[in-house]
Structure 1
């Protein structure tokens, strides 16, 4: 075989082999992700109930969705949960990252302890916190046994506070993840910048607030997007911890969708709520991706 022929075969393999290797996963993603998204979108415009019904119903499912008190409770809970969960996890994670960045002793042990909750599933986290916050089993009973008979912590069974128990459990699980991301970013900052600011008389808290943390804007926005995505699609933690109750006081859009589509036989309504969740995620992710692509083109 001539050198020219070998080069042609090598060029063909180099060009097409990666495409052939990636083609099966691409096709599976196309069918089982985007195909089912399209199918779900179509069902949201039909009269589907227990089983799919492809008779068009126009916007009636969305009208029923927006008229549902339970849906608006889920949306309100998502606002409360999203703000407190994202803000709390970011604050705790950044604080832990800054503390570990001081080269303290036993840093490896502490980092492992803070990251450990991330290794658990949300089902395990929800179950553990359900035991701890149960008035008859957990923290309240323990303090009563210790003699603090007036202590009460009944948020888990109180409709006005049940959503906040979900916030507590979610923050506990995700703060270590935020810490890891910001600690990696902090370790990428040149120490000479901090030393120069200290020579100029700046205190360490001021250095972090005015110099170091602003330099971590890409980490901040990436973490914000990830936590927002987790908040919008939160399902297993709520089901394990509160089951959406008492009543539907701790419902989130994902639990609402599940209840409507799979337990109440209103598949079309569940599909409509799922499309609203998708629109919310897209409203967050698409502008972020667009800004990232535009910044790369400028570079």
Structure 2
């Protein structure tokens, strides 16, 4: 045993040495930048960072600001609905494509194509589509339905749902591909055995296939959650946070605080809260992926 461990340590030594610069850069830039941000969130920094500690004053101010509370409410609505609809629609599309349909490659390309676009492009496209003078409302009214109203981006009560539509359009294709890869990894004998036993297809998916795809679902959840926390481009491209600040999200609040209001500490406090939300997602994922595997 004592000889095995040194051999294990020096295995692929050249590759490990080559990775040292990347690891050092990651530690200095990402970890160092994270620590720097958290530390300065407890200061009174404005235009320039300065070590003038004020305790939790920035966080108290953050959570007493109406704009921040609206951003948290919006990201909660967007996050829950995005998570549910992305998984459901993505899995259903993957299940349909898994039936070996004709022109599968064409459909797969069509569904995945929006993901190749930038969020800014997606936001602008859906801004035009949802514009009441140019998009869906205009088209339907031109067909004779004069009372039809569909202007989510101009209604403070439902503006976040207009942003959700654009987000689902762009991201669902990626979820479909991940789910399709998981479905293609299911042994064909399982499907044959389910058909022989007379198990309905929906029960096969619900009680056999989905539990077997647990790692795929966990990875997909992490990817979706990471995208939800940092949603910014869509909001800027579609509404710029409006009407008023009805579509404000945490990432935009942080950006505006740091670069428009020149209040670094307030922006750092907001970004620290965003980091905390990411850790809440990543820590359970890391435990599910590595902790249980380590314990057998």
Q: TM-score range by the shorter chain?
A: over 0.9
Say if 1:225 and 1:14 are closer, same or farther in 2 by CA, change over 3 A.
closer
Say if 1:204 and 1:48 are closer, same or farther in 2 by CA, change over 3 A.
same
| CA shift for structure 1 position 296 | 2.3
Does residue 297 (structure 1) correspond to residue 294 (structure 2)? The answer is yes
| CA shift for structure 1 position 35 | 1.2
- Of 143-152 and 188-197, the range deviating more from structure 2: 143-152
- Which entry has the higher C-alpha Rg, 1 or 2? 1
Does residue 237 (structure 1) correspond to residue 234 (structure 2)? The answer is yes
- How large is the RMSD of aligned CA atoms in angstroms? 1.7
Question: Aligned equivalents of 1:221 and 1:15: distance in 2?
Answer: 30
Deviation string, structure 1 residues 9-32 (Cα, Å, up to 9, x no partner): xxxx97653233212222221222
Aligned to 1:9: none
**Structure 2 unpaired stretches of 5+:** 1-9
Question: Aligned equivalents of 1:50 and 1:239: distance in 2?
Answer: 23
Aligned to 1:109: 106
Question: Aligned equivalents of 2:128 and 2:266: distance in 1?
Answer: 33
TM-score if structure 1 supplies the norm length? 0.92
Aligned to 2:42: 45
Q: What is the number of residues matched between the two proteins?
A: 289
| CA shift for structure 1 position 291 | 2.6
Aligned to 1:4: none
Does residue 151 (structure 1) correspond to residue 148 (structure 2)? The answer is yes
Say if 1:19 and 1:201 are closer, same or farther in 2 by CA, change over 3 A.
closer
Does residue 168 (structure 1) correspond to residue 165 (structure 2)? The answer is yes
Q: Helix, strand or coil for the counterpart of 2:168?
A: helix
Does residue 217 (structure 1) correspond to residue 198 (structure 2)? The answer is no
Question: Aligned equivalents of 1:222 and 1:17: distance in 2?
Answer: 30
Question: Aligned equivalents of 2:217 and 2:16: distance in 1?
Answer: 34
| CA shift for structure 1 position 153 | 0.6
Question: Aligned equivalents of 1:137 and 1:82: distance in 2?
Answer: 28
Aligned to 2:14: 17
TM-score if structure 2 supplies the norm length? 0.93
| CA shift for structure 1 position 226 | 0.9
Does residue 35 (structure 1) correspond to residue 35 (structure 2)? The answer is no
Deviation string, structure 1 residues 142-170 (Cα, Å, up to 9, x no partner): 22233322111111011001101111111
